[in-house]
């Protein structure tokens, strides 16, 4: 399981693009990178997952450079409702067991 | 949350009582994970189960805690003789091969 490092907190304003970078220097060759969002008193919500290059869905984009030692979650035009904790995780493919959650990044979006 | 159900959502117990937390995975998922989250902390892995098998219980406390995932019915996390330190949010996840989807959690309060 890859050990990940991400900023503890970030501030942004409504309408801005937010980029949260995660470092995972010891990621294994076959590991995926997955991002979750968690609101207070709720379970983590899957945002996006990738292996390499760029992945985009209706919520976010995920950029993974060729060396895969880091990844960047990009949230376009954030709103107040995007205020949450964002977790980056590296993990094996298939049903390979536990996820190791760090402290995550607390994103505060201001009006 | 792709259909993981947990109940009850809130559970209050007095010290020494038993707590039973239930988790119904996404239909068709046969892998279930339990995590615990203390206030202001990230999620901590507890146990990983397949139908009728415990695959990894490395995060379970040695005493008072047990988990099962029977052939029929929900997965159960059981905490015997609860203590105040067991007060936390307990989240269940089920997985498609590469992604875990989390339920809304059960908030256990021990008085």
Question: Cβ contacts (< 8 Å) between A93 and chain B: which residues?
Answer: 97-98
Q: Do A43 and B103 touch (CB under 8 A)?
A: yes
- Residue A96 pLDDT > 80, yes or no? no
- Where chain B has pLDDT below 70, the residues are 1-2
pLDDT (tens digit per residue) in A11-47: 999 999 999 999 998 888 888 999 999 999 899 999 9
In this prediction, residue A91 has a pLDDT band, given cuts at 50, 70 and 90, of: confident
- Residue A2 pLDDT > 80, yes or no? no
Question: Cβ contacts (< 8 Å) between A55 and chain B: which residues?
Answer: none
Q: How far apart are CA B82 and CA B105, in angstroms?
A: 18
In this prediction, residue A94 has a pLDDT band, given cuts at 50, 70 and 90, of: confident
Q: Which chain B residue shows the shortest CA-CA distance from A51?
A: B98
Is the Cβ–Cβ distance between A62 and A33 less than 8 Å? yes
Mean pLDDT of the A46-75 span: 95
Q: Do A42 and B105 touch (CB under 8 A)?
A: yes
Q: How far apart are CA A57 and CA A110, in angstroms?
A: 24
Q: Which residues make Cβ contacts (< 8 Å) with residue B36, sequence separation at least 6?
A: B43, B44, B46, B88, B89, B90, B91
Residues 40-59 of B with CB under 8 A from A: 41-45, 48, 50, 55-56, 58-59
| Predicted pLDDT of residue B40 | 81
**Percent of chain A whose pLDDT exceeds 70:** 97
Please name the member of A41, A42, A103 whose beta carbon is closest to the beta carbon of B42: A103
| Predicted pLDDT of residue B16 | 98
Mean pLDDT of the A48-73 span: 94
| Predicted pLDDT of residue B1 | 46
Q: How far apart are CA B7 and CA B16, in angstroms?
A: 21
Question: Cβ contacts (< 8 Å) between A87 and chain B: which residues?
Answer: 42
């Amino acid at each position: 399981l890859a050990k990940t490092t991400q900023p503890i907190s970030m501030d942004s304003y409504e309408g801005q693009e937010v980029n949260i970078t995660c470092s995972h220097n010891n990621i294994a060759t076959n590991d995926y990178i997955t991002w979750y969002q968690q609101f207070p008193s709720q379970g983590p919500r899957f945002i996006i997952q990738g292996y390499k290059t760029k992945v985009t869905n209706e919520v976010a984009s995920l950029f993974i450079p060729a060396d895969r030692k880091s990844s960047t979650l990009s949230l376009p035009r954030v709103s107040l409702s995007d205020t949450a904790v964002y977790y980056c995780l590296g993990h094996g493919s298939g049903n390979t067991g536990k996820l190791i959650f760090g402290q995550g990044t607390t994103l505060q979006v201001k009006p | 949350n792709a259909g993981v159900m947990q109940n009850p959502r809130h559970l209050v117990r007095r010290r020494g009582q038993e707590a039973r937390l239930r988790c119904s995975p996404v239909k068709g998922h046969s892998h279930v994970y339990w995590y615990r989250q203390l206030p202001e902390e990230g999620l901590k892995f507890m146990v990983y189960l397949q139908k009728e098998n415990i695959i990894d219980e490395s995060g379970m406390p040695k005493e008072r805690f047990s988990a099962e995932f029977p052939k029929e019915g929900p997965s159960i996390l059981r905490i015997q003789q609860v203590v105040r330190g067991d007060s936390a949010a307990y989240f269940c996840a089920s997985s498609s091969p590469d992604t875990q989807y989390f339920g809304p959690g059960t908030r256990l309060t021990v008085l």
